[in-house]
Amino acid sequence: MPPFPLTGMTRMPLIQVPLRDGEPPIRGVIRLALAMAQLLPSHYQVGAVTKELREYIGRVAPDVAEAARRRGDGDPACVRVLADVEEAQRRARHGSAGDGYLSAIRYAVGLAESAEALLRHQEGVVDGGDG
């Protein structure tokens, strides 16, 4: 029986966003979240994207912060990276999808913005660039 037997709605897989060669899969999830205001996805899609983004932030933020700290606290780029990590972790841990569909979309978009910043820093700081 589907989760919503009266409507016949079932859980759908996450919409797949095309990636360019070598792009990490999280990039597609970020693009999808940032486009939600125009796409108006199902409630399940919003929840699935939010879950993916929260897991990504939880997994990547400590590594990005550690790599930034190794560069030194006096480095202005380190300060920026650590501020972005702190904001991403705050949103992922203490943020809320609110009490409705639009607030859930806004929360997912905010997580996507934080995840995108972490991804940029991960590509720069962890992989040896300028962050």
Please check whether residue 115 lies inside any domain of the structure. Answer: yes
Please check whether residue 2 lies inside any domain of the structure. Answer: no
Instruction: Please check whether residue 91 is in contact with residue 111, taking contact to mean a CB–CB distance below 8 angstroms.
Output: yes
Phi-psi region of 128 (alpha: psi -120 to 50; beta: other; left: phi over 0): left
Please check whether residue 7 lies inside any domain of the structure. Answer: no
Please check whether residue 9 lies inside any domain of the structure. Answer: no
3-state secondary structure of 9: strand
Instruction: Please check whether residue 122 is in contact with residue 57, taking contact to mean a CB–CB distance below 8 angstroms.
Output: no
66-78 per-position pLDDT tens digit? 998 888 767 788 8
Compute how many other C-beta atoms are within 10 angstroms of the C-beta atom of residue 129: 12
Q: Tokens for 92, please give them.
A: 């992922």
Q: Look up the domain containing 104 and give its range.
A: 25-126
Number of structural domains in the chain: 1
Tokens 């560069």 -> residue: 71
95-122 per-position pLDDT tens digit? 777 788 889 999 999 999 999 999 999 8
pTM over 0.75? The answer is yes
Please check whether residue 83 lies inside any domain of the structure. Answer: yes
